[in-house]
Structure 1
Amino acid sequence: SIVIPTPTFSEYEIAAKALGLEIIFIEPIGIKLNLEKILEVIKNKEISGIILCNPNNPTGEVLDYEKIIEIIEIAEKRGIFVIVDEAYYELSENIKTLAPLTIDFKNLFILRSLTKAFGFPGLRVGYALCHSSLTEKFNQTAISWRIGVLEELAAISALEDLDFLKWSKKEIFNEKEKLFNNIKLIEGFSPIPSNTNFFMINISKSGFSPKNLKWRLLSYAILIRELSSVRGLNEPYIRIAIRKKEENSILIRALKNIIYSMKKLYPNNPICIEKKCHLKVEDCSFCFCYFYPCLDNYTGGKFIEREDGSLVWSCIDCIWVHRKDVANILIKKLSGINAKKIEPEEILKIRKDILKVMPP
């Protein structure tokens, strides 16, 4: 069996289940990992391993250094492996790496990623740090061809350019403070402090579900991480990463536009009430089509570039929802639905069903 505290990176749960391992989940205190409970479990139960993310993903929490050492020490005495994921270490502040401890502890594995800090997500490159006695065992179980030539060259080049890392980290945290404060000013959005290059936002008072908000932001070519499926998070959260100044500004404007647009909807009949998009009075960020953004070129929509260079989904050539036959069935199916909380899958299913019998 293996111990996984929650909330954390969900891929470890998926991997453990694929290997047929029993998982002992540790419930959080609020959204913070419960390290005391981990200590209690490893002292009293027979387990094989523990997985920790430091900083934790998706909360951005930096774990208590002394408490982790205590966990590692007790785990070593009981023959338990400890895997610490430091994928975001280089992009974090107020954190102390556990890497030097691999010299002494034979049960400790540190995982690092170059994908995050050096910004080449298309190349899946990482490395592990562990006691020399574990490297042979690791190599025996690892696949033969782990990375290709491109990944290897990119990794070497990145690690030789630490000045870039220092510069980018400084820029990220300067922008993070501005973005965090701007998010706080948006009605219904409560950003959660973090120690790394991303932070969560509690949107429970916004009226939107995480999936719904993610779907609406796609109309601005913005992709966020919605956290509705993350174990251990009992309220609606999204996670955003810090980008360039211009991109962060686009996110803020997009959120404000979405909220402004939704406030104009009739509470019980979210059908387009302005009909201005086809008169070219304002861009489609103020279109009240219930399927917006459908992201479907079939109906005449497409991404267009604004004057500021940002992208937005345009439905300027789509008249489908304004056809009388389509409008009648839309009103029947959609009347009374909560426009903010209904999940995108449900909305798009309605759209798909209508498209089958009433194509553009």
Structure 2
Amino acid sequence: MLLLLSYGLEVASLQLPEHGSNTKYVYASLKMEQPEKVIDFSVNINPVGAPKVLKDRWGDWFTAINDYPDPYANELMEELAAQENISVTHLLAGNGAAEIITLVARYLAGSKVAVIHPAFSEYATACRNEGCEVMEIVLAAPEWNLEASALADKLQGVKAVFLCNPNNPTGIHYNREAVENLIEVCKRTDTLCIIDEAFYDFLPEPVTYIDKVLHQQHVLIIRSLTKMYSIAGLRLGFLAGNPELLQKIGRTKPHWSVNALAMKAGVACLQDESHTGETRSFIESERTAIFQRLRQLGFEHSSSQLNFYLLKDPALSTQEKLFHYLLKQGLVLRHTENFPGIKGKWLRVAVKQSDDNKILLEALAAWKQGN
């Protein structure tokens, strides 16, 4: 495994938006006119959509907006605790995983932290905003293998390390042995091991390390409910960890940061047992068909097990031309300019509904014919 290390690395100043979704900003940043019809492959939420129960019960929840929400989100946390087989004291609700990451960064303020890349850009951004010294540990493409033993020396004196597993943007899932070895290495180096599991429930056979927080004081698990349940507009996530550590992290959390409708929706989503199973089956079927066609066309893709994947035309050193070509067709993929280690060399693509996936594959076929 190749490890590229840098300290205090600043992401180059970008015109492009730092996250997916909101396609108008992509076109505006490139001074391109947005086509009348756009398919957004840059946002990696559930293509199946939100559980039907949300629409059915939405009107029943209207009166919840008349009062302040529960600042501790107890009903939601009790539902989560029951499903995860841990106590409520091991959980902290948040206004999406983004708020959770910000709270953790505030707790780490001024410290030396590490991020294992490729990874969600918000870890490094939030930590730098809090005056942290950020060490980027970049795994070698295209396998991005995690070898914890090689990190032991690097993590000496590091207060926390972020690992995105399953990984955004590659879609790969690090094996259990590698992750457990990292947890043990962090124990020896007195490093807080922060595992972002925002996409764990998209795996064909979901794997979580949330049980580690019951016995390990140096492990934190970040979760998002917005991805699987397609409720990104509501913002809902949580942090699992040692109760004393959560109390310290939660000190800077705004009162009532999670709104009442998000709590109601969260409970209803968690109780809908069929939604996740149907989602996994659909995505696995679509992803298999997409990958088969991409290989036929001569494209490379990451070995994703999730609802998104990395894509590249191996004939290009960077994917800028392909990115712009697809934008002109109204197909918006996620650039990777702010992902250390893969910067511009790949594009991230969400698995969408079948018709949308076919439109993208047809556009990619046309690209190959013209180049």
Pair in the same fold by TM > 0.5: yes
Deviates more, 1:216-225 or 1:109-118: 216-225
Matched, 1:124 2:124: no
Distance (whole Å) between structure 2 residues aligned to residue 165 and residue 57 of structure 1: 19
Q: Deviations over 1:190-231 (max 9, x none)?
A: 1221121211113231x4842332232223332211223321
Q: 1:33 and 1:5, CA in 2 relative to 1: closer, same or farther beyond 3 A?
A: farther
Task: Say whether the 8 Å CA contact 1:5–1:28 is kept in structure 2.
Answer: yes
TM-score by length of 1: 0.67
Q: Deviations over 1:131-166 (max 9, x none)?
A: 223232232122223221222222121111121111
Matched, 1:226 2:335: yes
1:29 aligned to 123, 132, 140, which one? 140
Matched, 1:250 2:362: no
Task: Say whether the 8 Å CA contact 1:50–1:81 is kept in structure 2.
Answer: yes
Distance (whole Å) between structure 2 residues aligned to residue 212 and residue 146 of structure 1: 41
Match of 1:47 in 2: 158
Q: State the 1:95 CA deviation.
A: 4.9
Q: Deviations over 1:232-261 (max 9, x none)?
A: 12672111111111111111112223444x
**Aligned counterparts, 1:82-231, within 5 A:** 82-187=193-298, 189-205=299-315, 207=316, 209-231=318-340
Deviates more, 1:240-249 or 1:215-224: 215-224
Match of 2:118 in 1: 7
Residue identity in the other structure for 1:97: T
User: For structure 2, which runs of at least 5 residues remain unmatched after alignment?
Assistant: 1-111
Task: Say whether the 8 Å CA contact 1:88–1:196 is kept in structure 2.
Answer: yes
Distance (whole Å) between structure 2 residues aligned to residue 155 and residue 48 of structure 1: 32
SS in 1 for 2:309: strand
Larger relative contact order, structure 1 or 2 (CA cutoff 8 Å, min sep 6): 2
User: For structure 1, which runs of at least 5 residues remain unmatched after alignment?
Assistant: 264-360
**RMSD of aligned Cα (Å):** 2.0
SS in 1 for 2:365: helix
Q: 1:150 and 1:105, CA in 2 relative to 1: closer, same or farther beyond 3 A?
A: same
Percentage of matched positions with identical amino acids: 25
Task: Say whether the 8 Å CA contact 1:94–1:195 is kept in structure 2.
Answer: no
Task: Say whether the 8 Å CA contact 2:161–2:191 is kept in structure 1.
Answer: yes
Deviates more, 1:85-94 or 1:59-68: 59-68
Distance (whole Å) between structure 2 residues aligned to residue 14 and residue 76 of structure 1: 25
Q: Deviations over 1:100-126 (max 9, x none)?
A: 111101111101111111112222211
Distance (whole Å) between structure 2 residues aligned to residue 221 and residue 10 of structure 1: 25
Distance (whole Å) between structure 2 residues aligned to residue 191 and residue 75 of structure 1: 31
Q: State the 1:92 CA deviation.
A: 1.4
Task: Say whether the 8 Å CA contact 1:55–1:61 is kept in structure 2.
Answer: yes
Task: Say whether the 8 Å CA contact 1:5–1:33 is kept in structure 2.
Answer: no
Q: 1:221 and 1:121, CA in 2 relative to 1: closer, same or farther beyond 3 A?
A: farther
